[in-house]
Amino acid sequence: MRFTKLSVSQQRGLICSAVMIVKEFGEKNALRLDLAGLKPTAAQEILSKSYDITDADSAIALLERLAHADGHNPAISEVFEHIIAQNRYEIARSIFAPIRQDNLVDLNIPTNFRQFWKSVTNNANANLDAFMDYLLNPETTEQNATFHNITISAVVGRLNKHIKGYEQSLRALSVFGYDTDELTSISTFVAWDLGRCSYLARMAAHCGYINEDVALQYMDRVGTAAYKTYTDWRQFLGAQILGRNMVLTADDMVDYNQTLIHLLRDKKSPFKQYPLKIA
């Protein structure tokens, strides 16, 4: 289906995947529901290897999770978003001290971080409430005996990796003119989930796991969420990059330079041609 035949919200949803699509499959695919030059079998291989999607059921399961995302998945936890909210300017200016075991309690950690807890410990019998009590009352010897330092170190290590990824993406985005105020105005990283949902819906449709109508339903949902959450595509892109690097905590974004140059500066960019919101 041609881009111009889509509803406005479907168009927005399609554009949400532009960062991933342009990087992997080129600019010509930015506004196509299908993916020119990509064999369906190749799409199946990508979905299987990177996302554990092998059929319609596994595709729908992940798409539903991403479409309902609220920014608090196991990697980008409420704990981490809370830390970012409290220390945003310090991180943006690269003077944020690494989180240490002895100052973890001082971060005023919210109590709702069950997903994060599950992602850093393999102890199925761990008592979350008792662990929270230990964090808030570290002098309690009984709780100190219950939770070993290795568990706290795992939490600290994970948080510091996310901070490092956040800092990496801040530096990368600053090259493209994002300033501190602009970056710290981003309060949710759900753009990372919305972008992946759009990308995976297109891929799943391309290889035949779902039909075009189902893919467009996800485009509509993603586009509506992006419109409600972000002020413009520039802010959406910043949030998507921040979310991505906090999850992956690995690369320095060099491979994304040409993609960002096109999307942010080229007058033919979908971001330029179809603004998220009309002034």
Residue 31 region by backbone torsions, left for phi larger than 0, else alpha for psi between -120 and 50, else beta: alpha
Structure tokens at 222: 């993603």
Is 151:118 a contact under the CB 8 Å cutoff? Answer: no
- Count of alpha carbons within 13 angstroms of residue 239, beta-carbon side: 24
Is 149:102 a contact under the CB 8 Å cutoff? Answer: no
Cα(127)–Cα(250) distance, rounded to whole angstroms? 31
Residue spans of alpha helices (H) in 175-232: 180-184, 191-206, 212-229
pLDDT at 111: 42
H-helix or E-strand containing 45?
A: helix 40-51
Q: Where are the domains of the chain?
A: 3-71+188-273, 78-184
Average pLDDT, the chain: 78
Could you say which DSSP state residue 96 is in? P
Structure tokens at 130: 């008792």
Closest CA to 56 of 220, 203, 222, 223: 203
For residue 97, pLDDT over 70 is answered with: no
Q: For the chain, what percent of residues have pLDDT higher than 70?
A: 66
pLDDT at 215: 97
Q: Tell me which of 247 and 75 has the higher pLDDT.
A: 247
Cα(80)–Cα(102) distance, rounded to whole angstroms? 17
pTM to 2 decimal places = 0.76
pLDDT at 189: 82
Q: Which residue has the tokens 């330092």?
A: 149
For residue 64, pLDDT over 50 is answered with: yes
pLDDT at 89: 59
241-276 pLDDT, tens digit per residue, is 988 887 776 566 788 889 999 999 999 999 999 999
> Can you list the positions of beta strands (E) in 32-144?
none
Q: What is the chain's alpha carbon radius of gyration, rounded to the nearest angstrom?
A: 20
177-216 pLDDT, tens digit per residue, is 888 788 878 878 889 989 999 999 999 999 999 999 999 9
Question: pLDDT band at residue 222, thresholds of 50, 70 and 90?
Answer: very high
- Number of CB atoms found within 10 A of residue 166's CB: 26
